[in-house]
Each structure stands twice: as C-alpha cells, then as structure tokens.
Amino acid sequence: MKTVSESLERLGLSVPPTKPASEVPKCLPVSNPAKCFWQSEKHKLHDHRSTEELPPHSDVVIIGAGYAGVSTAYHLVKEASDSIKSITILEARGACSGATGRNGGHMRPDLYGHIPTYVERGGVQAGAEIAEFEIAHVKAIKRIVEAEKIDCDFTLSRTIDVWCNEESAKKAKAVYDQMLENNFEYMDDVIFYTGKEVEGICGVKGAKACASYTAGSMWPYKFILGLIEVILATGKVNLQTHTPVTSVTSDPNGGVILQTARGKTHASKVVYANNAYISGLLPEYDQNIVPCKGICCRITVPEGSTAPLLNNTYINRTEDNTLSYLVARSDGSIIVGGAAAKFRNHKDQWYNNVDDSILIDSAKDYYNDYMQRTYRGWENSGAKVDNIWTGVMGYSYDSNPHVGEVPGKPNQFVLAGFNGHGMPVIWLSGKAVAKMVSENIPIEQTNVPRLFKTTQERIDRARSGSEEEGDILGTGNAKATKP
Ligand SMILES: Cc1cc2nc3c(=O)[nH]c(=O)nc-3n(C[C@H](O)[C@H](O)[C@H](O)COP(=O)(O)OP(=O)(O)OC[C@H]3O[C@@H](n4cnc5c(N)ncnc54)[C@H](O)[C@@H]3O)c2cc1C
C-alpha cells in the first residue's frame, strides 16, 4: 500500500510539515485510479472547488463526495431546519471518484439472501426492517431522479437471481420458503422457479433455479454529479475536491478541527462519509471497515452483430458458485462484475488494499467470453470486454454498515462500511444522518435498521475477534460477494 505522503505527493499536495507522523492517516485513496467506463466523460463539476480557499468554519463538514456524503448533504440542504446554514464537502480526489463512481450501478434490495442471518442476529423484526429499508430505496431513488430531473439512466426492472449449482439452488429455495413462513409482506413481489422451465425463464445456460423481483439500475456517477449540481445551486454547500483530510481533532472551544493537505478548517459537526478509508481518520474502525477491492467491466457487442435482448438485471451463480451481478444497459452494453470466488484466496490482491489503479490479477480475465458462456443465444455475438476496472469498497466485519454518532465522540457522525451493496442502503442512511445532525435526535428516532447502528460493542467485537471470524473472510462472506 502507498504511504500517505506518497499519495499526497501524487495528488500534487504534501502533508503539512507541522503534522506529527502519528496523526497522518494510514490510508487515503490513490491518486491515479485506472480508467472506468462510468467516468470516461468527466462532469464539469468533477474537479470543482467552490472557493479558492477552504472556508474557515462550517456548520457541518462532510468528508467524502460519494453517494453517502452527497446524500447527507442533499438532505441537510433540502430537509434540515435553518440551524444548518453552511455545509462543506471535502473530497480527496475528484467528485464521486470512489466506489460509487466505479461500481456496477445495480440497485437490488436483498430480500432473502442475508436476511436469515439478520433474523438470527436480531430477531424477525430486525431482519424485516433491513429488507424493507432496502426496498424503500428503489422507490425513493425513482422519486428523486424524477423530482430533480437527473439524467442518469435510472431503470426499474425485474432482477433475476440464478443458481446453476443444484445444491445451492435447493438451499436458496429453502431460504425462500423460510421467508414466506415469516409472513414478510414484501415477499409478495418475489417469485421463485424450479424445474424444467428455469433455463427458458432466465436465459442462463444450466440454470437450476431462479427468482425474480423488482429492482433498479442507474449510472451512479451521473446520479451523484446531478445531485451535486442541485445542492451547489442552493448556495449552502461548498465543495472542495482534491482536498484529502489528514486528521480530525476536537476543538476545546467546541466543534472539530479538520486538517487537510490544503490547510485547516473548523466545523461544529463532522460526518465521515469516506467509506473504505475511514480508519485513516477513525482508527477505532480499523477492524470494522476494511478496504477491499472488487472488479467490474463493460461488455459490448461489435457493430453489425446482434444478441438476444436482456431486459432484466441479474445475479448469476455458476455451477462452481462464482457470483456475478449484471446490468443490461439500453445502449446494448452489459455491465458485469463480481467473481470474488476467483480471487478470494489471493488476499494480497484485494484485502486491505486501496489500489484501484490496477486490476485484480486472478480475476482480470474471468469476464472474457462471459456472455457467450452464460446466456443462451449469445454464443456467436462477438461480445467482448471493452473496459475493465477495480474499485475499493468498505467491507464491514459483521456485514452491516455503521451508521450514527461515533461512540464517545459527540458531534461526529459516520455512515460507512456498505460492502458491495451500497446502492439500496445509502440514500436513506444519509437522510437519517442529516436528521440526526440537524435535529440532535438519536438514531432510534430515524428509520435506520437497528443492526446498522454503530456501537462501541460492534467496534470492540471486531477488534477482539479474528479476521476469519468476521463476515469478510469468514464463512459468512456476507455482502462481500454480493452487490
Ligand atoms: C467494483 C464495484 C462494484 C460495485 N457494484 C455495486 C452494485 O452494483 N450495487 C451496489 O449496491 N453496490 C455496489 N458496489 C458498492 C457501492 O459502490 C458502495 O457501497 C458505495 O458506492 C459506497 O458509497 P460511499 O459514498 O460510502 O463510498 P465512496 O463512493 O467510496 O465515497 C467515499 C469518498 O471519500 C473520499 N475520501 C476517502 N478518504 C478521504 C479523506 N481522508 N479525505 C477526503 N475524502 C476522502 C473518497 O475519495 C471517495 O470519493 C460496488 C463497489 C465496487 C468497488
């Protein structure tokens, strides 16, 4: 991993000479992320700085201009009381250049995959509220895209879960049945197929079972940059890109002091929305939220060639249980990623690794001929990988994100650790954090699922447990492989 000084140097910045080495964060985003399809045309606000200098003080400073930071800012601007007049967003690289700008664009609520784990952990209601929270995102995002007229290719469709391994298909059916027994109302939207007709329903060769329900997809970079345009237009938000925060300390006179590579700034309240990199500023999260790399690509069909139309999104699991998420775009291209089973054993290539400038070696060729191998009728399509990239996720030790007030640190809030599954989780988490920040209410007075609350107990459990006991490397692997 690059040192922070190296990262800052490559960003054209340097660690302030007065900074004691012990206060410099362990990890920052690298300065040279590799090319990613979603960002091939940079938005005019990508490198935006609202003012030449940092504002000396803000009511709220948000660290990170990804989905989490921008959702929080949007809700502070649109829904908070007049107590919040000034918001500054400090972003280490360009706007939305982290995981959000490099993901699969799949907004798929998890209705049964991990819900049994959460039911076991917190009871039936705790499981149901996570599924319901995630479902609520699909509708909330549709509403916001329409209300703010954001051009981001948002689509509502069915998502098809596919199992090609007989044993896994049986287990999935058992989970589905268990969810029905729980009488979760939202399961009315799910239909599960087994038997001869499965391949014909999903189009995936060798499929043994499949399920279908409502989900969404979008161009996440365009969505976030569209929101940034909206919030900047209010005049309440100051965006400072290429401004990595290197430390946050409590001010004895109230609030916090943020040291950045471009000088200091002061805030009454701070929101950590820097996801995978959070332990660089809050070391207590070092075992709870670990930077882990994932891989994603865009596949295109050569001009003049045709392939059967796919108008659903997919989660495909092969015979050897390698999972891929897939979004078919209206321009005919395919976004597909995952393949964690192919690189999981090569820990050095992805675990505790923030380098999104290079691919994951053991998975980089997996998607060559993926469409030909996987879908009926695509055999002679000539489909090929047109761009492949990596991104850095914040994997949570227990697979639930951390949302709320940082234990023992008043006026400091966190929303991070969204694994490979942020799209149906972050929007309303940001709304809730904005409410907590502006109304001084506890997380229990928001609709954030109880298992998402960041607590000292969760922090301690990860710090005293082994890596293998957690969901990242352990048997759970919850959300580590699933978008
Ligand atoms: C390859 C890949 C595919 C994925 N596919 C999907 C998918 O299809 N569906 C889905 O639901 N999820 C998916 N995810 C996960 C999803 O992208 C994330 O959960 C989500 O984007 C996290 O959003 P965020 O705002 O918390 O983090 P980010 O988007 O990473 O934003 C954090 C920001 O903080 C900045 N930052 C970090 N440290 C500092 C600092 N010290 N100072 C200032 N700024 C800082 C970073 O530069 C970054 O811009 C995928 C992720 C990857 C990498």
Q: Which helix (H) or strand (E) holds 199?
A: helix 198-202
Q: What is the DSSP letter of 24?
A: S
pLDDT, position 18 = 37
Same domain, 92 and 230: yes
Q: Are 138 and 423 in contact (CB under 8 A)?
A: no
The neighbouring-strand residues paired with 402 are 416
Are 178 and 163 found together in one domain?
yes
With residue 384 as reference, give the H or E element that holds it.
strand 384-396
Residue nearest to atom 2 of ligand 1 (CA): 103
Q: Of 331, 362, 396, at which residue does a domain stop? A: 396
Question: Within a domain: residue 134?
Answer: no
In the chain, the amino acid numbered 247 is S
Same domain, 192 and 86: no
Q: Are strands 106-107 and 209-217 parallel, antiparallel or unpaired?
A: antiparallel
Any domain includes 338: yes
Query: Is 296 close to ligand 1, i.e. is its CB under 6 Å away?
Result: yes
What residue owns the CA closest to ligand 1's atom 14? 420
Nearest atom within ligand 1 for CA of residue 28: 38
Distance 354 CA to ligand 1 centre (A): 11
How far does residue 99's CA lie from ligand 1's centre (Å)? 3
Instruction: Please provide the distance, in angstroms rounded to a whole number, between the alpha carbons at the two ends of the chain.
Output: 25
Same domain assignment for residues 296 and 344: yes
> Which of 396, 414, 429 is at the close of a domain?
396
- Amino acid 20: pLDDT: 44
Write the CATH number for 185: 3.30.9.10
Ligand 1, atom 12: closest residue by C-alpha = 421
The H or E element spanning position 269 is strand 263-272
Range of the domain at 356: 156-216+291-396
Asked if residue 64 belongs to a domain, the reply is yes
Render each residue's pLDDT in the chain as its tens digit; 483 residues: 444 445 445 444 544 433 444 444 557 999 999 999 999 999 999 999 999 999 999 999 999 999 999 999 999 999 987 889 999 999 999 999 999 999 999 999 999 888 989 999 999 999 999 999 999 999 999 999 999 999 999 999 999 999 999 999 999 999 999 999 989 999 999 999 999 999 999 999 999 999 999 999 999 999 999 999 999 999 999 999 999 999 999 999 999 999 999 999 999 999 999 999 999 999 999 999 999 999 999 999 999 998 999 999 999 999 999 999 999 999 999 999 999 999 999 999 999 999 999 999 999 999 999 999 999 999 999 999 999 999 999 999 999 999 999 999 999 999 999 999 999 999 999 999 999 999 999 999 999 999 999 999 999 999 998 777 777 775 444 454 443
pLDDT at 13: 52
The reply to whether 360 and 308 lie within a common domain is yes
Q: Same structural domain for residues 351 and 279?
A: no
Q: In sequence order, what are the residues at sequence separation of 6 or more whose Cβ sits closer than 8 angstroms to the Cβ of residue 231?
A: 70, 73, 74, 77, 87, 237
Same domain for 318 and 184: yes
Nearest protein Cα to ligand 1, atom 32:
274
Number of separate domains in the chain: 2
Q: Which of 89, 274, 278, 392 to mutate to test the pocket of ligand 1 (most atoms within 8 A of CB)?
A: 274
Amino acid in the structure at residue 290: V
What does the pLDDT read at residue 24? 42
Beta strands at 412-416 and 263-272: parallel, antiparallel or unpaired: parallel
Distance 66 CA to ligand 1 centre (A): 6
- 294 CB under 6 A from ligand 1? yes
Cβ(46)–Cβ(33) below 8 Å: no
Tell me the C-alpha distance between 423 and 375, whole Å.
Answer: 26
Distance 276 CA to ligand 1 centre (A): 7
User: What three-state secondary structure class fits 191?
Assistant: strand
Same domain, yes or no: 345 and 265: no
Residue 93 lies in a domain: yes
Tell me if 137 is assigned to some domain.
no
Tell me: do 392 and 449 sit in the same domain.
Answer: no
3-state DSSP: the chain helix, strand, coil percent, rounded to 5?
35, 25, 45
Confirm whether 44 is domain-assigned: yes
Q: Give the per-residue pLDDT at 112.
A: 84
Q: What is the CATH number of the domain that holds 244?
A: 3.50.50.60
Is the domain of 206 the same as that of 296? yes
Q: How far apart (Å, rounded) are the C-alpha atoms in residues 214 and 378? A: 25
**141 within a domain of the structure (yes/no):** no
Task: Quickly list DSSP for 97-120.
Answer: -SGGGGS--EE---SSSSHHHHHH
Which two structure tokens, joined as six digits, stand for 338? Answer: 């995952």
Say if residue 351 is in the same domain as residue 333.
yes
The residue from 396, 419, 447 where one domain ends is: 396
Specify whether 301 is located in the same domain as 392.
Answer: yes
**Pocket lining: 483 vs ligand 1, CB cutoff 6 Å:** yes
Determine, yes or no, domain membership for 476. no
How far apart, in Å, are the Cα atoms of 413 and each of 95, 159, 179, 263, 270?
Answer: 21, 33, 34, 22, 6
350 CA from centroid of ligand 1 (Å)? 15
